[in-house]
Amino acid sequence: MTVTERFLKYVQIDTQSDPETGTHPSTKKQFDLAKILVDELHSLGLRNAYCDEHCYVYAHLPATKPNLPALGFIAHMDTEPVCSGKDVHPSVVKYTGGDVVLKNGKTISEQEFPILKEYVGQDLIVTDGTTLLGADDKAGVAEIMTAVEYLVAHPEIKHGKIGIAFTPDEEIGEGASLFDVKDFGCDYAYTVDGEELGELGYETFNAAEAVITLTGKNIHPGAAKGKMINCALIAGEFLAALPKDEIPAKTEGKQGFYHVGEVHAEVESGKISLIIRDHDMERFQARKAFVDGVCQTLQSTYGADSVRWTIRDQYYNCYEKIKEHFHLIKNARKAYEAAGVPVKEAPVRGGTDGCTLSFMGLPCPNLFTGGLNAHSVREFIPIPSMKKATQVILNLIKLYAES
């Protein structure tokens, strides 16, 4: 099966995660893809493939050469919760330039997405404009599976032990929470969860989530003086206190931000959810302290029962662990070069399973998949980029066999 055939098959399986359920996995439907992957791995001869109770898929390809590092490749199965991943209808279009018009009339604009110009003459897989595509990260899943199939078909290729893992719930920050690093048994790994062709990520945000819960007091407005506590106004004060230029829409590179993801407020109750991001640990801690300070000020104004909050760390900059094993980056550069792929190294403005895994003892940089415009109905992926990603995986395996 080609990488394109695999990808088109996988994206039609609904695997959206859900941050509200509190279960592991967060949605049972993620098992639908997990079971298919286990069956496919079994059919390829990896009889040790299995899916655990929490929807983690693991498999190992035994070493064909002794005394080599055990190398893992990891991708996630779930798709983003906000943009629908149900009833995905992908199609392949030959891109000849200009805008790409989707089936429902929406467009992928060349002016808005000038990177399109780099893919003139290539076949692109797009959505019908009603759902996301799911290249994040079913492209990574398809690329790893295709590389495994190639290795099985070519036993003459020497390699150490190869670990394969597919995780649930990455999109809600829990993809590595229950990952069994010890049983996975790899010395190093790569997540295949980046975006455009050539992207190589080994620096990420430090990340935290803040949830502010508001409790007010309602009374007839005509008799409210000194009595009413209005959560809608408290929410407004909190939002006004945030630095207006330190938001995702006004930052780039290593600039951190505060991102308000949810606000619900009326007189008697309210809730604000936001995420805090920064590449630098000192600035990250300062950002958390700033949010804590704003909440303390509001609490002192309106009373202890009116404003309550939690700030929870989600993941940390994986560079702090990867820098001790920089051969992972040097070999990735060589693997890209051998595949004819220019390397694009830039700080990742997000996180991957590799962040948590690196701090769990499994150093784990991030490779590209080729997908673009993730989490959007305008998501697309060039087919040649998926083929290149598969080749990079195989190149890495060969490089570590020569080490």
Residues acting as catalytic residues? 78, 170
**Distance set, CA 81 to CA 55, 108, 286, 307, 338 (Å):** 17, 22, 29, 28, 36
Rg (Cα) of the chain, in Å, rounded? Answer: 23
Asked if 322 and 358 touch (Cβ cutoff 8 Å), the reply is yes
What does DSSP assign to residue 217?
A: B
Residue for token pair 């695999």: 6
Which residues, 6+ apart, have CB-to-CB distance to 110 below 8 Å?
A: 97, 98, 99, 116, 117
- Residue 400's region, left for phi above 0, alpha for psi from -120 to 50, else beta, is alpha
DSSP for 286-343?
Answer: HHHHHHHHHHHHHHHHH-TTTEEEEEEEEE--THHHHGGGTHHHHHHHHHHHHTT---
Residues 114 and 56: their CA atoms lie apart, in Å, by: 37
Nearest partner of 195 among 357, 353, 366, judged by Cα: 366
Structure tokens of 395?
């190149």
Kindly report the number of other CB atoms within 10 A of residue 269's CB atom: 14
